[in-house]
């Protein structure tokens, strides 16, 4: 999600539905939460105090700057623990959903992008991550006392010299006894270390000393090739594959920090200053070295969390691929017998001249076979759209004639399926033929779908179609006097499976939007209130020749 108002609304909904909420954030996240979400937190705390739910926990790096706000949260009944080195992301997880962002939200500014999911794998994963960090945290009351008394003895060191940072990183790798964990901030950071000799040191640690090495990095073709070579080296050395493991971080999980963890006793977190630079000395900023057990284990927990998440992400990708392949095959297999059913039923229907019961039965067969045909075509269109293979066959045609033809087909639909309705379909013509270069079949599909929706939700009155030219574009609108668009689905109108109808799949508007956008146009919908009853849908298309992108 990227809209600030929608993010705030969604986070409040998540909080109000939660019986338990765990948040891990920087100071900016706490400021933002106090500004926008604090009352929804109080609902969780109040329910917990009445014996309902498990309340609320918060992890934050407590310092002099945020001390007063932490006290406000503590006083409100929120449990808080201090962790010196926070994860590179801010996240909140309940028993039902999770939300995460990589933004710092400095000064309490609402994040511009949030990842929100109710996928059980992610919820369990983030709950486990929070519990691991919480276990290694320090009770906020002790941390506040230490700050107020001027006592702070955590084992960390800030290093400013890039040369010293590089030397320390290599030294840690060379002295590792059991395990090395590395998370690179960017693909370029990986390549800089490859040029500096860091990847070679990791390979030697694994192949010559038997150290278990695991690497998390963003993916590119060169990194994939390096990973393949490392696997080949292990095979040649007849060593187990698990001595070197490489997994790829998804783009939304990338950070600005490279983290090295050795033997779960030492950590080195290196800030990225300028990713465009060719050498590490030029690209990196400050580094934080620590031998504090709680700090190192926190970094290790972050690494393990991301390591597991990359596996879950890969499994979800494979699952989606299998699902899409199955749907595609099923749709093709369904389409094959539909044509002979329709063809033979039409032949039999043409021979029924008396209009008896057999004719009615055949009408039912034909009507439902056509519904199944539309469903299979919709499914195949969704597959084409999501695989970016929706082809457009452009031709020059008379748009007005096409609309009149679609209205004639819709009138037949009304006569057969809506006999008891008092409905009129009309075309407000511009009196001039409007010619358009586009995929005639696909534009007809959009118009027919919008007409079908209007008829479905209009029992009486008028469905009007208009086509006008305006500023080098054509605008086609379909207005009705029916029930209008349910306000609950209005914000998600053009997404998949959104419908309030007892019939239909909710795919038509999503497909229509994809077709119009593939032509370089736009599509929108709205209720006619307060001007009148019903709803209006419209789409615009470029009037002149365009290069279509699919």
457-491 residue pLDDT tens: 888 899 999 999 888 899 999 999 998 998 888 88
Query: For residue 94, is pLDDT > 70?
Result: yes
Query: For residue 61, is pLDDT > 70?
Result: yes
Mean pLDDT of 507-511: 89
Reference 526, options 474, 480, 470; nearest CA is 480
DSSP per position, 391-426: ---EEEEEHHHHHHHHHHHHHHHHHHH-TT-EEEEE
State pLDDT tens for residues 365-374: 877 777 777 7
DSSP 64: T
Mean pLDDT of 411-427: 79
How far apart CA 64 and CA 27 sit, in angstroms, is: 11
φ, ψ (nearest 5 deg) of residue 151: -115, 120
Mean pLDDT of 162-175: 92
5-19, 39-53, 134-148, 350-364: least confidently modelled range:
350-364
How far apart CA 357 and CA 367 sit, in angstroms, is: 15
Q: Kindly report the number of other CB atoms within 10 A of residue 489's CB atom.
A: 14
| Token digits of residue 52 | 């309902």
| Token digits of residue 93 | 């997880």
Query: For residue 155, is pLDDT > 80?
Result: no
Tally DSSP H helices, then E strands, for the chain: 16, 21
**Three-state DSSP string of 76-106:** CCCEEEECCCCCCCEEEEECCCEEEECCCCH
| pLDDT score, position 535 | 94
How far apart CA 358 and CA 354 sit, in angstroms, is: 9
DSSP per position, 487-530: TTTGGGTTSTT---SSSS-S-HHHHHHHHHHHTT-EEEEEE-TT
Mean pLDDT of 49-59: 92
* Paired residues of 547 in beta bridges: none
**What count of residues does the chain have?**
550
How far apart CA 130 and CA 301 sit, in angstroms, is: 9
| pLDDT score, position 322 | 66
Average pLDDT, the chain: 85
Long-range residue pairs from 1-6, CB within 8 A, at least 24 positions apart, any chain:
1/113, 1/114, 1/115, 1/116, 2/112, 2/113, 4/110, 4/112, 6/491
Mean pLDDT of 11-26: 91
Does 538 or 460 have the greater pLDDT score? 538
DSSP per position, 164-209: HHHHHHHHHHHT-SSEEEEE-SSHHHHHHHHHHTHHHHHHHHHHHH
| pLDDT score, position 444 | 92
Query: For residue 546, is pLDDT > 60?
Result: no
**Residue carrying the six token digits 């690494």:** 303
Mean pLDDT of 300-325: 77
| pTM for this model (two decimals) | 0.43
Q: How confident is the model at residue 1 (pLDDT cuts 50, 70, 90)?
A: low
Q: How confident is the model at residue 233 (pLDDT cuts 50, 70, 90)?
A: confident
Q: How confident is the model at residue 237 (pLDDT cuts 50, 70, 90)?
A: low
Does 415 or 540 have the greater pLDDT score? 540
Query: For residue 550, is pLDDT > 50?
Result: no
Query: For residue 45, is pLDDT > 80?
Result: yes
Does 19 or 154 have the greater pLDDT score? 19
| pLDDT score, position 547 | 43
Mean pLDDT of 204-216: 91
4-8, 11-15, 264-268, 450-454: least confidently modelled range:
4-8
Does 369 or 33 have the greater pLDDT score? 33
Does 157 or 307 have the greater pLDDT score? 307
Query: For residue 240, is pLDDT > 60?
Result: no
């Amino acid at each position: 999600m990227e809209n600030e108002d929608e993010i705030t609304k969604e986070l409040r909904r998540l909080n109000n539905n939660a019986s338990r909420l765990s948040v891990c954030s920087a100071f900016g996240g706490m400021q933002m939460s106090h500004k926008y979400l604090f009352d929804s937190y109080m609902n969780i705390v109040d329910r917990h105090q009445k014996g309902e739910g498990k309340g609320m926990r918060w992890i934050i790096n407590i310092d002099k700057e945020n001390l007063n706000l932490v006290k406000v949260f503590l006083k409100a009944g929120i449990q808080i623990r201090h962790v010196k080195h926070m994860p590179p992301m801010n996240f909140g997880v309940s028993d039902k959903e999770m939300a995460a962002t990589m933004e710092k939200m400095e000064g309490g500014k609402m994040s511009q992008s949030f990842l929100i999911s109710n996928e059980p794998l992610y919820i369990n994963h983030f709950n486990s991550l929070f519990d691991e960090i919480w276990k290694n945290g320090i009770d906020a009351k002790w941390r506040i006392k230490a700050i107020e008394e001027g006592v702070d003895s955590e084992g960390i060191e800030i290093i400013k010299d890039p040369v010293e940072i590089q030397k320390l990183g290599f030294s840690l790798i060379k002295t590792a006894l059991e395990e090395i964990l590395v998370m690179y901030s960017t693909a370029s950071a990986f390549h800089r270390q490859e040029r500096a000799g860091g990847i070679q040191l990791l390979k030697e640690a694994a192949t010559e000393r038997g150290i278990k090495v695991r690497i998390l990095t963003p993916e590119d073709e060169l990194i994939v090739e390096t990973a393949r070579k490392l696997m080949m080296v292990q095979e040649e050395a007849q060593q187990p594959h698990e001595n070197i493991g490489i997994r790829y971080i998804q783009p939304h999980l990338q950070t600005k920090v490279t983290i090295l963890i050795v033997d779960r006793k030492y950590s080195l977190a290196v800030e990225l200053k300028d990713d465009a630079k060719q050498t590490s000395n030029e690209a990196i900023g400050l580094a934080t070295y620590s031998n504090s057990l709680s700090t190192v284990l926190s970094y290790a927990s972050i690494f393990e969390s991301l390591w597991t998440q990359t596996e879950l992400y890969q499994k979800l990708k494979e699952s989606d691929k299998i699902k899409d392949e199955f749907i595609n095959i099923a749709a093709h297999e369904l389409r094959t017998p539909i044509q002979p059913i329709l063809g033979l039923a039409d032949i039999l229907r043409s021979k029924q001249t008396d209009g008896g019961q057999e004719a009615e039965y055949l009408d039912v067969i034909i009507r439902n076979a056509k519904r199944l045909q539309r469903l299979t075509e919709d499914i195949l269109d969704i597959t084409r759209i999501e695989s970016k293979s929706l082809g457009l066959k452009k031709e020059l045609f008379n748009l007005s004639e096409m609309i009149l033809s679609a209205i004639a087909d819709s009138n037949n639909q009304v006569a057969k399926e809506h006999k008891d309705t008092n409905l009129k379909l009309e075309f407000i013509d511009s009196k001039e033929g409007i010619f358009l270069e586009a995929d005639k079949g696909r534009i007809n599909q959009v118009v027919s779908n919008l007409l079908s929706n209007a008829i479905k939700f209009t029992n009486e009155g008028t469905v009007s179609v208009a086509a006008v030219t305006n500023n080098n574009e054509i605008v086609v609108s379909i207005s009705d006097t029916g029930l209008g668009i349910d306000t609950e689905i209005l914000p998600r109108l053009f997404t998949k499976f959104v419908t309030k109808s007892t019939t239909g799949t909710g795919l038509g508007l999503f497909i229509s939007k994809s077709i119009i956008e593939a032509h370089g146009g736009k599509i929108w919908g709205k209720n006619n209130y307060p001007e009148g009853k019903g709803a209006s849908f419209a789409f615009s298309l470029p009037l002149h020749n365009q290069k279509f992108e699919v």
